[in-house]
Each structure stands twice: as structure tokens, then as C-alpha cells.
A and B are shown apart, each in its own frame.
Chain A
Amino acid sequence: MASLGPSGYSPYPVAVYEGVLTPPPGKALLFNEIVDEEVAMREAAKAMLTRENPTIFPGPQVLYSWNEEAKEKAKLVRKIAETLGAKIIPMYDYRPKYPKIDPEKEINPNHPNLTIWHNNIKACIFVGVHCHYANVALKIIRAETDCFTIALCGNAGHEDAMITLRDQHTEELEKFIRVAEEVKKELGK
């Protein structure tokens, strides 16, 4: 059951019901607080560097080469994983799999908790997942696990993640890598 975040005590926490909305352009969301992008990036890096089994869940928007930006972002996601010492488990599509997915190989928006339970993941990053499926998955994760969720979103962000960075394109992902390297040094890792 969820124990983190402002909606942590509801069986199905929904941040907007507590008045938490996606951050305005240029800002980020840290739990229910609107903060500067860099502050959120630092906290995100810290969570990934200090919690057990940090994992990146890349979605179709960075897994397939739709366009040049997708290709660039895919390379940067790999670099983020290297910097943070994180595993990569893809959400390669959104199809429900019957009876269930192989949690070592993939994460699925319809039951993302299975992957998180199986791998004992305590911090994760969503990147390149279409917003609707990210939101569906993030609510389930908050309800069913104690995983610290971070969303690097190309659009307006995800208030159900514990840290939300919005409008994340190649330049912003490069900045995140720089911030993560600094935090890593500060932590002596």
C-alpha cells in the first residue's frame, strides 16, 4: 500500500483530488510543491542514487525511431541509466498481456506493480511513455507499492509521480545528466 506522497493513504490515490495539478511551464513538481526544474532534477537524481534497485522504464516514444528526437533521446536515456547506475526495463507497448507479463523483461501500464514487486524497485523513472498510460500506471504504482516515481515528460507532466519534470526534450535530458553527475559526486558515489 502506498506510503509516500500526499495521497499516500487512499487505496487509489489521485493527486488532483487533493488540488495537485501539473506544474506550469518552466517549473517542476516535487510531491505537491511547485519548484524550479533544477531543484526537482537534484532530488530525482538523489532518489535514484540512494534507493534500492533504481530502474528506468522507457516507453515507445524513446524505444522506436519515430524521428530524430526519439533517436537522440534514446541515447540520452541510456546515458542517464549509466550515470545513475540504473537498470532499464522497457514499457515497449501498452497491450494487456494475458495472463501476465514477464516482470523481469518488461513493465506494462495495466499492472506495473508486478514488475516493481518482482524486482524490488524502490525508485524509478518514466520516460517516453504516452501520457495517458503513464498516468494510469503511476496511480497503480502509488496505490500498490512504495516505489519513488519520477516522470520525465515531453508534455505537461504527471502529478501522480512524486517528481514531475515537464517539457523534457534533448536539451533538458542533457541537463539532467549534468545535474545527476554533480549529485553523484556530492554523495561520494
Chain B
Amino acid sequence: MQETQQVQYNRAGQRVVSPDYLLFEAPREKQFMTGSEVVKEAVKRASVDASVSYPITPQSEAAHLIGELWVEGYVGVYFRGESEFGVMSEVAGCAMAGGRTITTTSGPGTLRAMENFPMWAGSRLPLQLVLMARGVNSPLTIQPDNLEISFLLDTGCMVWHAENAQELFEMILAGFVVAEQPDVHVPVITAIDGFFISHTREAVMLPPDDIALPPYDPYKAPMPPIDMEMAPGRFLRDPYVMKSNYISYASHTSWQFEVRSAIERSRPYAKHYLRGLIEEFGNPEAEVVLIASGTAGAQAKEAAIILSEDEGVPTRVIRLKTIRPFPGEEILQALRNAKYVFVPEFNVIGWLEREVRRVLYGKTDVPIVGSPRVAGGMTMPPEVIVKEVLKTLGKEAKHVI
């Protein structure tokens, strides 16, 4: 007997396929495009219901291109908000209404919208923010710098950090799938280092654009749609409830733990769809280890090659894909025989060094060097990392000037 197969199509007429097929099995074709264009390509294949935008460098082009997708019928609702605060409130409304929702922002826009991020998480909204990080400073800077990621680490959202445009593509698609798991169901922030990724063109491998993710099923949400009678809405409107000894302390405490628990529950899903929470690169026996994320990860890989091949210092890289959940166990296991750890970063405060120190405290006596660190738009050529390693090791540079 002939088998009948039911084929499902989304609103744009794309064939709905499983996330595993879209991410791992579908044939891919090489394209040459910017990170912003890659955002469009990912959203095009994500059966997105809603997107709200507001212009701010360097994410404006990505937001604009999502608007083109709305014109073409791939995105259900698209409009410009009044400000970033407005946008982040409006996307919350879209997600509360049961729509798969995405937005983008950068730098000062992130800060203006800040109050909304813990609200998203506490309301268990599985929406996605593509964060194209830029400097946060006075004098105002529009240069690449990822300081703002540190502000988002404790909002209750998952935070992933892509190394390049290809990984951003995968993360946007995987982000929806992981965030929408009923036992996770918190927002996902897919971050890149602005300009370096958003504005440069690179080769990316893309699946066909006539297939897409299955639509979001809001009936599996861990919360029914909230209103002003139901927590958290009722908490906000009613001071008696807010101040009640019978309600506030226990409920608020448990609620906050629950949001953080949800991030932890994302681990197995993220591990599957991102092919691991970390990437190990280079000679696995090397005693010098560079721990990095985002474009610092790409620079660290170049530095590891120079150190290993030209300077005679075997070096490897542990590149983090997720920052929340933080892959502490994975780092500890990957360190193995490490003698030195360096954490190169594109920000002035060294938020990744802080995170690495926190999880390794009391578990290893390997010295952790929070350097090199550049900020305010400076680039970090691999040679800067090489020099730092050689200086710490007391070695003379053979090839690096």
C-alpha cells in the first residue's frame, strides 16, 4: 500500500520541516553576505509571526531587512516602535498573544529597553532578541565593543554569542526551537559583535528558502496568556497583593529561581541544536588555553595557530557558544592539562574573565590571565594575543613584531 504523507505549509507557503532537518540535514548552498543579510535569511526560514523594529546602529539594516520579509509575506506583523523601550514592550505583547516574535537592537538601545528584559523572562516569553553589540560609553561611541552583553547576563534571558555570520544563522533558528521548549520558555538573546559580523561579508552555507521551522505552538506554554488578574499582572497592579506577607516573599523568591532554572533546563536542547555549548579548537594536549566567545573566539583561533606553528607554543581555544547557561562543567572538563588560561575580550571590564573565574574558583589552580582586552572600537589582531601569551610565559617572540 502506498504511504500517504501529510505536508504542512506555513503562511508564506514554505514547507514545514523539523528543526533537525532544517539545521542538520537539508542541502546547503554557498552565499556571500553580511551578518545583517544573514539575519534576514534566518528569519525567512523561521515561520516568524511578528517583529517590531527601531533604528540604531549597527542593527538598523537587519531590522530593515526583516521589514522586507513582511512585505514579501514571510513575517506576519511588522511595525516600527516609538523607541527601544516601546519596541521591547510591544514584542512582549506579540509573544503574550502567542506569536513567534523577534527583534533586534544595539548599544544604547539595549540600555533604554533594559527594564523589559527581566519582564520578558518573568513572563516566560520565548521571544528572540538579536543583539548586535556596540560600545556603551560617553563620549557616545558607535564602534564595536561587547560591554553591553554583561548587562544582559542576569536578566533571566538565555544569552548566546555567535562567532560569525554562519553561527548567527544557526543560532537564530535554534534559538526559537530551544526557547519554545515548554520546560525552558524564556527569551533568547543571540548576540554578535556589531560591525565585525553585521557589516562584513563572508561565505555562509544556507539551506533552501522554501522550507521553514514548524510554527510556534503557544498551547504548550508554561503559562496561559496573562492578564491583569493573573500573576505577574496582578502583582503589578495591586499593592495589597504586592505587599502581602502571604504572597510576596515565597512567590517572588520561587518565581526568580524558576526563571533561572528554566535557563538551566535549556542545556540539553542547546547542546543538541548548537552541537555543544563550547567548541574546542587546536591541539587537545596544549597547555596554553585561550577561552573566548564571539569574534574574540575567531581571533583566538588565529592566535593559537601562530603560537603553535610559528612560536613553538602549543595553544588551544575553548570557544563558548552560550553564556547563559554558562558552560562551567564543559570548561572544567576541557581544561584537562592546562597550565595557563588567557581570556581575550572586546570590552573594558572583562565580563567573560569574571564568569570564567567564578566557575573555576576552588576547582583548579591554573592561573587565569584576563588579557588581552580591547575596547571602544579597537580591533584585536591575533598578534596582540600572541604577544600577551609570550610575555606571560617569559618567551621571546620569534615571528611577531
The interface of chain A, by Cβ under 8 A from chain B, is 12, 14-17, 21-22, 24, 60, 93-96, 98-100, 109-111, 113-114, 130-133, 135-137, 139-140, 143-144, 155-157, 159-160
Please pick, from A95, A114, A143, A156, the residue contacting B231 in the complex, using a CB distance under 8 A.
A95
Not counting A14-B260, A130-B223, A140-B250, a sample of 20 additional A-B residue pairs whose C-beta atoms are within 8 angstroms of each other reads A12-B253, A12-B257, A21-B268, A93-B230, A94-B224, A96-B235, A98-B241, A98-B244, A98-B247, A99-B244, A100-B246, A109-B231, A110-B247, A113-B250, A114-B246, A132-B222, A135-B222, A140-B251, A143-B250, A159-B265
Asked if A136 and B183 sit within 8 Å, CB to CB, the answer is no
Instruction: Report the tally of A-B residue pairs with Cβ distances under 8 A.
Output: 106
The interface of chain B, by Cβ under 8 A from chain A, is 124, 181-183, 185, 220-224, 229-231, 234-235, 238, 240-241, 244, 246-247, 250-251, 253-255, 257-258, 260-261, 264-265, 267-268
Please pick, from A22, A111, A156, the residue contacting B251 in the complex, using a CB distance under 8 A.
A111
Asked if A155 and B247 sit within 8 Å, CB to CB, the answer is no
Q: How far apart are B122's CB and chain A's nearest CB, in angstroms?
A: 10
Q: How far apart are A34's CB and chain B's nearest CB, in angstroms?
A: 12
> Bound complex: CA of A15 vs CA of B255, how far in Å?
14
> Bound complex: CA of A16 vs CA of B258, how far in Å?
9
Given contacts A98-B244, A109-B251, A140-B251, contact A14 B183 (CB under 8 A): no
> Bound complex: CA of A99 vs CA of B258, how far in Å?
24
Asked if B250 and A96 sit within 8 Å, CB to CB, the answer is no
Given contacts A132-B258, A139-B258, A155-B220, contact A96 B183 (CB under 8 A): no
Asked if A156 and B224 sit within 8 Å, CB to CB, the answer is no
Write out the residue numbers on chain A whose beta carbons fall within 8 Å of the beta carbon of B250. Answer: 110-111, 113, 140, 143-144
> Bound complex: CA of A12 vs CA of B265, how far in Å?
18
Write out the residue numbers on chain A whose beta carbons fall within 8 Å of the beta carbon of B182. Answer: 131, 155-156
Asked if A136 and B246 sit within 8 Å, CB to CB, the answer is no
Which chain B residue has the least Cβ–Cβ distance from A24? B268
Which chain A residue has the least Cβ–Cβ distance from B223? A132
Asked if A16 and B223 sit within 8 Å, CB to CB, the answer is no
Q: Can you spell out 10 A-B residue pairs with CB atoms less than 8 angstroms apart?
A: A16-B265, A21-B267, A99-B240, A100-B246, A110-B250, A111-B247, A130-B224, A132-B124, A132-B185, A139-B258
Given contacts A21-B265, A21-B268, A132-B258, contact A96 B247 (CB under 8 A): yes
Write out the residue numbers on chain B whose beta carbons fall within 8 Å of the beta carbon of A109. Answer: 231, 251
